[in-house]
Amino acid sequence: MRRQRHGKIIATLGPASSDRATIQSLFEAGADVFRLNFSHGSHTDHQARYDLIRAVERDCGRPIAVLLDLQGPKLRVGRFADGPVTLADGARFRLDLDSTPGNTTRAPLPHPEIFAALQAGHDLLLDDGKLRLRVLACGADFAETEVIAGGVLSERKGVNVPSVLLPISALTPKDRADLAFGLELGVDWVALSFVQRPEDVQELRSLVQGRAGILSKLEKPAAIDGLDAIVALSDAVMVARGDLGVEMPAEQVPPIQKRIVRSCRQAGKPVVVATQMLESMVSAPVPTRAEASDVATAVYDGADAVMLSAESASGRYPREAVAVMDAIIRAAEADPHCRTVVEASGFAPQPTVGDAICAALQQSAELLGAAAIVTFTRSGFTSLRASRERPHAPIVSVTPDLATARRLALAWGVHSVHVPHDVDDVPGMVQAACALARAEGFAQAGETIVIAAGMPFGKAGTTNLLHIAHA
């Protein structure tokens, strides 16, 4: 099944999309990657969804990527003795490690790591930023604060500490258990929440050991300070705009989004734009015009993928949300100005043999009006570097490694094809490329295709061959 677009769609599965028919309809509507959000649901729930995804994959014959999204640390206030309390602007409010239920003047905050990092003048955000407290004095087990922006505070609401590097691992014991379970299942990508520093990515990589791609979710301002290092250590990156928007002023999120996309594009790492993209479609069958423009902006920026969260996981119109996102991406990519913007925002290739081949691949395809680019790859490197060049022609990525084929479903412009074995020689490569380009619906007999591969065949990371053929 050929997609008529380059950008990819990630759809989150949940209560509204847990049966075989719905998952298949989401795939048919345009979903390329399915996200399993481990902040919700049991291992049994996620295994059932995973098994259904693989059943759909077998029936459709196209590799589908599965993304395990780890919950990460959840910092929350404790319980209140008499239910929700109202904090008035200017009032004093104490947070401490005492587990006694809270009241209108204090609340338990069972996170010593927060107190260890706090200083007078720091702000604390409660309930997704709805309430703001400013620290007046603090110690190892308490913080005396002033209410800057008050409101109603319920127990177990989240706490954010903007612009503070917290001495805490991005991986909780729950995350480690979820990770082990997901890797045993065979997920293709693992999304790491609460990334603050490059070391967080290294910690996850030491546990994954190459069994899945690592996608770093950038949702903390501290991560932006080490952006390029985090991108370099990651296999892909997500712009988690919802959490970024809690910890920094809303007007700063759009330029940060563009900065993250640029950094990933320069490095040739897939980048996902996520959160609240078609939020109104949780309860409505059509998006707002602003939401449509938001999705299109990510396309114009050259993002690899855009993501649906509650829209497909718990909303009333999961299939419609995927179909609308598909239509928006196709409409944006059909705009000649989009092509101009994407090309203008590209980066020079690196001085390597692989990049030289892939840059020539893109230029040859443009000059000759190629119907398709065909890449032979084992690790995915050739296809990802070809994708970095953002060619106009679709990239038919051919690999004998099913895990690689699935993982590449996230990459811009890549149509992944799994084959039973490597090609053995150049004539066999050309014959296979032409046959696959025709069979997958990308080229008609006689049309030009441009092929990239590595010799010796079957050896990862050896992109060194460019060949032009006619399908």
- Contacts of residue 191, Cβ cutoff 8 Å, sequence gap at least 6: 35, 67, 68, 69, 70, 215, 216, 217, 238
| SS3 (DSSP) at 280 | helix
Is residue 58 part of the annotated active site? The answer reads no
Is residue 49 part of the annotated active site? The answer reads no
Given 12, 145, 275, 399, which residue is catalytic? 275
Interior/surface letters 50-69, b for 16+ CB within 10 angstroms, e for the rest: bebbeebbeeeebbbbbbbb
CA angle 430, 431, 434 (to 5 degrees): 85
Given 76, 157, 205, 262, which residue is catalytic? 76
Centre a 10 Å sphere on the Cβ of residue 434 and count the other Cβ atoms it contains. Answer: 21
Is residue 217 part of the annotated active site? The answer reads yes
Centre a 10 Å sphere on the Cβ of residue 459 and count the other Cβ atoms it contains. Answer: 11
Cα separation of 367 and 287, whole Å?
39
Cα separation of 437 and 36, whole Å?
32
Q: Are 429 and 376 in contact (CB under 8 A)?
A: yes
Given 217, 220, 265, 390, which residue is catalytic? 217
Q: Are 404 and 378 in contact (CB under 8 A)?
A: yes
Interior/surface letters 399-424, b for 16+ CB within 10 angstroms, e for the rest: bbbebbbbbbbbbbbbbbbbeeebbe
Tokens found for residue 137: 């004095």
Cα separation of 451 and 289, whole Å?
40
| Cα–Cα distances in angstroms (integers) from residue 199 to residues 229, 231, 245, 319, 403, in the given order | 10, 12, 24, 38, 26
Is residue 407 part of the annotated active site? The answer reads no
Cite the active site residues. 35, 76, 217, 275
